[in-house]
Amino acid sequence: MNEQITADAINAAGHLTIGGCDSIELAKEYGTPLVVYDVSRIRSQIRAFKRVFEENQVDYAVSYASKAFSAVAMYQVIKQEGGHVDVVSGGEMYTALKAGFSLENASFHGNNKSYDELVLAVKNHIGVVVVDNFHEIELLGQVAEELDAHVNVMLRITPGISAHTNKYIQTGQVDSKFGFDLESGQADQALEKVLANPRFNVIGLHAHIGSQIFEVAGFEGVANKLVSVADHWQKKFGYQAKVINVGGGFGIRYTKDDTPLPPEDFVDAIIKAIKKAVEPTDLGTPAIWIEPGRSIAGPAGYNLYTVGSRKDLPGLKPYVTIDGGMGDNIRPALYEAEYETVLASDPQAPLKEHVRIAGKYCESGDILSYDQELPETKPGDVLAMLDTGAYGYSMASNYNRNPRPAVVFAEDGQSQLVIKRESYEDLVHLDQPYELHD
């Protein structure tokens, strides 16, 4: 049996349950493909992160990186858990506002924030703008002036640390589009500029080294680097950083080959590294912020699909095709990401064959899984792909004009639709007929 499915996630009928709800019933009620979140897992991960900070008695923010999964319902849950969020676009800010989430508890990230986005952020009293480049310093200065506002800012630096992860999701190495470079003196120049603007309150510094990282060393490295920069800034400019934000990136288990530490153990190591690094300095203990996305949303999510066609080839793994694919989960095609999948009606059924789980999109690379051991399956069976909650729905597309799936939150045995399934009408509602020339 799949080791990720615990005995309490199987009900009397032998079906997989999610948030106490029968997955087969969910598939029937809402249709497939369907994204289901076990809300209690979102909550428990946020609480686990908070607990580590509280046990270590440091000021902190657990800032959920909402690019992992952004929806009104998600911001509501984060708000209820007393969390902070990281937003990277006007759309994410707008969604948070729709959820009644105060942007005072949000950090605004991005390497090319637009004037309009900065206006939206500042008008809504954004908690902090994580300033990424010189253009933004000017633009934000202009916006603050026009709106007669004061803005908290934090400088994003490129720490020169390259995390051991897929190259598409590395961000901390020197040759990166994000943040101010240290070696060339850009970060110092940026600090001088933001300190010189009386409309800015410079609260600290930030770095993010990548995503799906398994080694603690990368995080200890970034913690040490940020403290050394803060120390240098204090000595050179008399500037006292109040916040050190080490970003996100805590790796999660997708398959049995992944053996990450519990996400909160990374945080424990970061806190210890920062406490040790500040000892010989005059920095005191700064507040420590983290920005976990995947580790909060990922393990909480399941994608339910219905099996349709099948292609058998002599001597090759069969293609078992489901009713979704790269439109609802681009990660296998984009990053060669791997997942584990179970038969929802009987996750304990003896495994019979290795198959490829193919999507329905017109593209040979639309394979969600290249080697999944499954029991015998037939058309109509429901498959549950595990740990799909991060960067699945949030990267979904309408490729082939397939509607995006519905999203359901399940908790305490009750389910609620939180994002409707797109209809064909939704697909054409932005289209305008072209007035054909005769």
Which is nearer to ligand LLP, 200 or 250 (by Cβ)?
A: 250
What's phi and psi for 28, nearest 5 deg?
-70, -45
Between residue 375 and residue 394, which ones bind ligand LLP under the rule CB under 6 A? 390-391
* DSSP per position, 278-301: HTTSS----EEEE--SHHHHTTTE
Of 51, 96, 44, 43, the closest CA to residue 70 belongs to 96
CA distance 29 to 23: 10
Which is nearer to ligand LLP, 171 or 345 (by Cβ)?
A: 171
Determine, following the binding rule CB under 6 A, whether residue 71 of this chain makes contact with ligand LLP.
no
Q: Which listed range, 140-148, 288-296, 365-373, 426-434, lies at the site for ligand LLP (CB under 6 A)?
A: 288-296
Express the helix, strand and coil content of the chain in percent, nearest 5 each: 35, 25, 40
Determine, following the binding rule CB under 6 A, whether residue 248 of this chain makes contact with ligand LLP.
yes
User: If DSSP codes are grouped into helix, strand and coil, which group holds residue 175?
Assistant: coil
Residue among 58, 119, 147, 169 that touches ligand LLP (CB under 6 A): 169
Residue 200 contacts residue 151 (beta carbons within 8 Å): yes
Active-site annotation holder among 362, 371, 412, 413: 362
Residue among 160, 221, 249, 347 that touches ligand LLP (CB under 6 A): 249
Determine, following the binding rule CB under 6 A, whether residue 325 of this chain makes contact with ligand LLP.
no
Determine, following the binding rule CB under 6 A, whether residue 250 of this chain makes contact with ligand LLP.
yes
Residue 113 contacts residue 122 (beta carbons within 8 Å): no
Pairing of the two strands 287-290 and 60-65: parallel
Determine, following the binding rule CB under 6 A, whether residue 292 of this chain makes contact with ligand LLP.
yes
Spacing of C-alpha 276 from chain mean position: 29
Determine, following the binding rule CB under 6 A, whether residue 254 of this chain makes contact with ligand LLP.
no
Which is nearer to ligand LLP, 199 or 294 (by Cβ)?
A: 294
Which is nearer to ligand LLP, 165 or 341 (by Cβ)?
A: 165
Determine, following the binding rule CB under 6 A, whether residue 227 of this chain makes contact with ligand LLP.
no
Determine, following the binding rule CB under 6 A, whether residue 294 of this chain makes contact with ligand LLP.
yes
Determine, following the binding rule CB under 6 A, whether residue 291 of this chain makes contact with ligand LLP.
yes
Residue 291 structure tokens = 């920005």
Largest alpha-carbon pair distance within the chain?
79
Q: Which listed range, 36-44, 248-256, 321-329, 361-369, lies at the site for ligand LLP (CB under 6 A)?
A: 248-256
Residue 185 structure tokens = 């003196």
Q: Which listed range, 34-42, 46-54, 292-300, 361-369, lies at the site for ligand LLP (CB under 6 A)?
A: 292-300
Which is nearer to ligand LLP, 247 or 299 (by Cβ)?
A: 247
Determine, following the binding rule CB under 6 A, whether residue 303 of this chain makes contact with ligand LLP.
no
Q: Which listed range, 16-24, 70-78, 293-301, 402-410, lies at the site for ligand LLP (CB under 6 A)?
A: 293-301
User: In this structure, how many other beta carbons lie within 10 angstroms of the beta carbon of residue 423?
Assistant: 10
Which is nearer to ligand LLP, 109 or 199 (by Cβ)?
A: 109
CA distance 260 to 255: 11
Determine, following the binding rule CB under 6 A, whether residue 86 of this chain makes contact with ligand LLP.
yes
* DSSP per position, 359-388: -SSSSTT-EEEEEEEE----TT-EEEEES-
CA distance 426 to 325: 19
CA distance 57 to 349: 47
Which is nearer to ligand LLP, 391 or 409 (by Cβ)?
A: 391
Determine, following the binding rule CB under 6 A, whether residue 225 of this chain makes contact with ligand LLP.
no
Residue among 9, 46, 65, 187 that touches ligand LLP (CB under 6 A): 65
Q: Is 21 a residue of the active site?
A: no
CA distance 137 to 145: 12
Residue 86 structure tokens = 């990281």
Between residue 107 and residue 146, which ones bind ligand LLP under the rule CB under 6 A? 109
Q: Write out the catalytic residue numbers.
A: 362
Site residues, ligand LLP (CB under 6 A): 65, 68, 86, 109, 169, 171, 208, 211-212, 247-250, 291-295, 331, 335, 390-391
